[in-house]
Structure 1
């Protein structure tokens, strides 16, 4: 899309884009998103699961019947009922075994259909959402059936350590995303946020050329390149900024509002 054309839809990452690292959502961003949502579809596109995405959609006042892309594109849900519009799964058995070999102290989690999590050990507070329901299980009970995502976390390691871990794991037949901290998200092969956005735009009969997407993480790169206009947050890693068409302010400086205020 051109600088002067008006968006036909907006896709927004949540953490680090809408919400800061204290889980705060600024009044300026709420106001800008609500004004945009009154005129075009606003689609949340997040690595979060449905249960922790839905409250953000509620805080933003998004319209009933709208779509939320969750779990890095593996699930597309209808708000607020939680109807599954699209779901992609994979068998994580070989990845789990490889993680245990290369990162024996790592914690793993999978998201269940009801939005709760099975974990091999408790995650740090808030990592899976402060109100997330979790159940601790053994490795052999973690994934008795195909899953939408496998989360790998080690609070004792760094982001750089997990970039190296992803290489050592030799991940084949899956997609993966390294987060801000020692966090690795494993998704079905070929699945990323753009996967869910394709599903969502088809529901609205819209073309990606009119889509504005805003994000800050490595898991946003495919979404930013898929959209007609992809915008990285000011605090995004360099590779995310390089993939975007432009860069806005940081989440602390209401970067999303700065973008949406151009048109809405």
Structure 2
């Protein structure tokens, strides 16, 4: 996707992915670099809302939003399944799904798979052996039957020893798009959610509340879970290390996260 940008266009809202965009992947990826924090600060100082649009659950999203100085704007979490008002510490939108059929289908094809279910904004339940790279508040180890016993906002499936390509092939085969939407992380990490849920749907709700048109939104991200957001936003910027399919979905490509590409992209309008 390569649209022509009106020379006079300026974003009225900025939607930012976190991991791989604002911060690098990994356990240390909570605080942004000084350059990125300063760039986001200039956006905020210009009176333009900055919306976090992330696959993270609420606790992790809040930590980085605070580090960026974002206040008074709802956070789009869990790939759009949760919209959270950090000021009032409450969920304003939540989409759940019955994950039992998905978990059964994935477990049948991937015997070594481990699972987690995001039930509320404060933590996950997981099967034994599930390891997270980020803290997420409360976690409880349960058996698979208990994990799938109620609708949740997200099922996570991790396949030790698998790569993302193999995991994606299984997901495409066994997950009915009428029942589920799904996204892959940078490894064999699979997020399964309700159909139609995406960062775009969550960000659209925030924009509606703020009176911002999608055509006036700048979106920056690096993952396949950003593609729907890129299609929806007025202008989309992919990070330099993003997969080719993600870069192809964007209007332009900036530097990689290690080189503060997010700051570079924002500097075009907020020097």
> TM range, normalised to the smaller chain?
over 0.9
1:79: Cα distance to partner?
Answer: 1.9
> What residue is the counterpart of 2:252 in the other structure?
246
Q: Which residue of 2 aligns with 1:29?
A: 36
The 1:14–1:3 alpha-carbon spacing in structure 2 relative to 1, beyond 3 Å, is farther
1:142 and 1:223 map into 2 onto residues whose CA distance is 30
1:226 to 2:232 alignment: yes
C-alpha contact 1:34 1:60 (8 A) present in aligned 2: yes
- For normalisation by structure 2, the TM-score amounts to 0.92
| 1:220-250 Cα shifts (integer Å, max 9, x gaps) | 0000111000110000101111111111111
Q: Deviations over 1:116-146 (max 9, x none)?
A: 10001233351xx235321110111003221
Distance across 2 between alignment mates of 1:28 and 1:61:
13
Matched with 1:201 is 207
Q: Which residue of 2 aligns with 1:174?
A: 180
Q: Find the counterpart in structure 2 of residue 136 from structure 1.
A: 141
Cα distance between partner residues in 1 of 2:149 and 2:62: 26
Tell me the distance in 2 between the aligned counterparts of 1:181 and 1:247: 22
Change (3 A) 1:154 1:60: same
SS in 1 for 2:104: helix
Contact 1:54 1:80 in 2 (8 A): no
Q: How many equivalent residue pairs?
A: 261
Relative to 1, partners in 2 of residues 1:202 and 1:125: Cα closer, same or farther, differing over 3 Å? closer
Structure 1 counterpart of 2:57, from 46, 49, 55: 49
Are residues 3 and 154 of structure 1, via their aligned partners in 2, closer, same or farther at CA, if it must alter by over 3 Å? farther
Q: Which stretches in structure 1 are left out of the alignment for 5+ residues?
A: none
- CA distance in 2 between partners of 1:82 and 1:209 (Å): 29
- Whether 1:78 aligns to 2:82 is no
- Aligned Cα root-mean-square deviation (Å): 1.4
Hey, what's the Cα distance between the residues in 2 that align with 1:76 and 1:183? 22
What is the rounded CA distance, in whole Å, between the counterparts of 2:125 and 2:250 in structure 1?
35
TM-score by length of 1: 0.95
Report deviation, 1:167: 2.3
* Equivalent in the alignment of 1:157: 162
SS, match of residue 144 in structure 1: coil
Runs of 4+ in 1 over 6 A off after TM superposition: none
**In structure 1, how many angstroms separate the alpha carbons of the residues matched to 2:87 and 2:108?**
41
1:101-112 → structure 2 map (5 Å cutoff): 101-112=108-119
| Structure 2 residue 92 is matched with structure 1 residue 88 | no
What SS does the aligned partner of 2:269 have? coil
Point out the more displaced range, 137-146 or 67-76. Answer: 137-146
Maintained 8 Å contact 1:50/1:82: no
Distance 1:201 1:180, change over 3 A: same
